[in-house]
Amino acid sequence: MSLVHALETEGPMAKKHQLAELQLAIMQVLWRCGEATVSEVRSALAPDRELAHTTVGTMLAKMEEKGHVRHRSDGRQNVYRPDIRQDQVSQTMVSDLADRLFGGDIKQMVCHLLDDGDLSAEDLAELRKLIRQREKELRE
């Protein structure tokens, strides 16, 4: 999904999915695996993070209360799966970043990314294609 599309499609009724750093890391494990137990999530986060089993379990329980994940029981273990899509979280977090750092000025944010990004000629061609596609959508 393009940056422009992600920011333009988030309407006033869209649910906000802002995640803290650990929550996002947990969600990335679940998006990648589809589903996982507390132990599997903890193992996937290691060695970058040394977290207690109870810390991961508590965080998953809190995330379930907020509607980010769901679980099913498999014997004595809970198996968690994402209940929100990665693009939903990306939309919220990119929009928040644009608001906080660039006062909501998407053009300024994109210019900053273009100036500081390590983009290949292929990347720039893809961006031009996405911009042309968005321009066409706006004309229709």
CATH number at residue 65: 1.10.10.10
- Same domain, yes or no: 90 and 78: no
Provide the residue range defining the domain that includes 54.
21-82
- Same domain, yes or no: 77 and 91: no
Mean predicted confidence (pLDDT) in 111-127:
90
pLDDT at 15: 64
Beta strand pairing call for 69-74 and 77-82: antiparallel
pLDDT at 3: 43
- Same domain, yes or no: 78 and 101: no
pLDDT at 13: 41
Average pLDDT, the chain: 88
